[in-house]
Amino acid sequence: MKKLLLIVLSLSLTMGLALDHTLARAQGKEGIIKIGVCTPLSGPAAPWGIPGYHGVDLAVADLNAAGGIVVKGVTYKFQTVSYDDKCSVDTALQVVNKFIYEDGVKYMVGPVCSPCALAVLPVLTKNKIISMGVSLDDRTIDPAYQYAFRLYIPVSFIGESLFKWIVDNRKIKTSSHISPNDSSGFAATESDNKHLQKLGVQVHDSVFFERATTDFVPFVTKLLAKNPDMITCGGSPAGSVALIAKQARAMGYKGIISNTSIMSATDVVPAVGKEAMEGFISTARPLEPPVAKKMIDLPIREKAKYGETFSSTNEIYAFAEVIAEAIKRAQSLDTTDVKKILEDPRQVWPYNLFENGTLRIGAPRCIEFYGERGKHQAYYPYPITMIKDGKDVILAVVNP
């Protein structure tokens, strides 16, 4: 009997030591979480898409340098997986299927172009892939797309405060709009014109161009025929806006040119010169306080790593941080668990673009503005800026 008891105790001790060793190995184990980036890296929309890749890739480098995140005792590092969707619906679908069936991506940023986003969202929803959208089209946060969140504040939201500032401070009374001939352009035009009309501004014309356009003289000629106080370019990429501004100034236009999107002097001035962009109003992030030092230094790293810089890189950087923090708070890799955390309006997320900045998803203002869709819309501080002497200058900060 004593011998049997000794054998049982010995086996128990051996099993206990084995279990402890297994747990220790598990706790020291490292896993990989892939963040996919589906974005245009070539073509006219590339100035919008490339910052998405840069932002996620730089954030991933910093997350890994800080040790990654720990989920249930296992340390996870991050990996960027990025492909060029060329702002093409067919290519975007190919990219997303590659994410799902070849790369094992469960979290992604993009697409930028609204037609691409609307095409891939049913596929992402079916496969429970969490996407952080940057599309302008409000249909991309439809409740049917349960795993889709939009951390980018689009023109439909920003336009309200941006145009109010312009009307109050520049006393404009008339406006005309120019935008791409696609769903992004249509959504931006409808939103910009609606906000301006609500503020009492008379909207003259809205014209649409194909994305490959470089000669804007016919379009600008039509806009200038009624001499509007302002030309709005919401939905237009930086390269197009720069050419529109240059050609409008060459034709003698002295009024305001604006874009609700993030469009820095670094995106447009090198292409057409500072005189053409003087007085241009947008929501760029100047590299000065109250922008956080971490973000002020980011373009230096971006330039060193990729050879170029973009004004919206720092914003997409923040999106990757939120993905990592959401997984950490959920203590789960299951996207359904992470989705529940992201949907909790009580959660306050880090938004390191501004010093001590925070981000909320589904805040009361989002619900008020978007209704049910607002539950998956983010809200955070953003600036109103003007290009002066080739540089971005902050005019005001809208701080929710």
**Domains of the chain by residue range:** 30-153+291-382, 156-285+385-398
Q: Which residue has the tokens 């053409």?
A: 276
Residue 139 CB partners (closer than 8 Å, separation 6+)? 118
156-285+385-398 matches 30-153+291-382 in CATH topology: yes
Question: Phi and psi of 174, rounded to 5°?
Answer: -135, 155
User: Structure tokens of 265?
Assistant: 């002097």
Q: What's the CATH superfamily of 156-285+385-398? A: Response regulator (3.40.50.2300)
Question: Phi and psi of 284, rounded to 5°?
Answer: -70, 165
Question: Phi and psi of 229, rounded to 5°?
Answer: -70, -25
Q: What is the pLDDT of residue 284?
A: 87
In the chain the first and final C-alpha atoms are separated, in Å, by 74
Question: Phi and psi of 38, rounded to 5°?
Answer: -105, 105
Q: Check if the beta carbon of residue 233 is closer than 8 Å to that of residue 240.
A: yes
Q: What is the pLDDT of residue 15?
A: 41
**What is the rounded CA–CA span in Å between residue 181 and residue 193?**
16
Q: Which amino acid is at 331?
A: Q
Q: Could you tell me whether strands 349-350 and 358-361 are parallel, antiparallel, or unpaired per DSSP bridges?
A: antiparallel
**What is the rounded CA–CA span in Å between residue 82 and residue 85?**
9
* Closest to 39 (Cα-Cα) out of 55, 23, 26, 16: 55
User: Structure tokens of 70?
Assistant: 């720990």
Low-confidence ranges of the chain (pLDDT < 70): 1-28, 400
Quote the Cα angle for 248-253-257, to 5°.
70
Q: Which residue has the tokens 């619906």?
A: 89
CATH number of 30-153+291-382: 3.40.50.2300, 3.40.50.300, 3.30.830.10, 3.30.2350.10?
A: 3.40.50.2300
* Closest to 351 (Cα-Cα) out of 327, 380, 323: 380
Q: What is the pLDDT of residue 281?
A: 97
Q: What is the pLDDT of residue 20?
A: 36
* Closest to 260 (Cα-Cα) out of 229, 297, 230: 230
Q: What is the pLDDT of residue 158?
A: 86
**What is the rounded CA–CA span in Å between residue 76 and residue 87?**
32
- Burial of 103 per CB tally in 10 Å (0-12, 13-18, 19+): middle
User: Structure tokens of 138?
Assistant: 């409000």
- Dmax over CA atoms of the chain, in Å, equals 106
Q: What is the pLDDT of residue 18?
A: 39
Predicted TM-score of the model (pTM): 0.76
Q: Which CA distances in Å does 318 have to 56, 59, 226, 276?
A: 8, 8, 42, 31
